[in-house]
Amino acid sequence: MIETIRRLLQENGRLHTPIETLSDNADLYEAGLTPFAAIRTMLAIEEAFDVEFPVAMLRRQSFSSINAIVACLNELNPHAAARQAA
């Protein structure tokens, strides 16, 4: 899951910091993520993971780090989280 998120951020996030140098807790907005790029990344994540972010998750904190994105995905699809842990 994290590898896919990192790839999608690299393709859509327009970060000025290389994604491979960022920790999973790094602030993506400090790394250059703009609101527009966050939307592009969100749409790519929705397609890749076959989910839809509800309005309640459409806030800056949901995309502030890779771990924040993982937490949202785990909340949207707890079965995927169980598969990842196995």
* CA 52/CA 71 separation, integer angstroms: 14
Q: Read off the pTM.
A: 0.87
The tens digit of pLDDT for each residue in 70-84 reads 999 999 987 654 444
Domain limits for position 36: 2-85
> Is 25 or 85 the better-scoring residue by pLDDT?
25
CA distances from 74 to 2, 14, 18, 24, 39 (A): 12, 24, 25, 15, 19
CATH code (residue 40): 1.10.1200.10
Count of domains for the chain: 1
Q: Please choose, from the candidates 17, 16, 6, the residue with its C-alpha nearest in 3D space to the C-alpha of residue 48.
A: 6
| Residue 79 confidence (pLDDT) | 63
pLDDT of residue 4: 96
Asked whether the predicted pLDDT for residue 86 surpasses 80, the reply is no
Residue-wise pLDDT for 36-67, tens only, equals 999 999 999 999 999 999 999 999 999 999 99
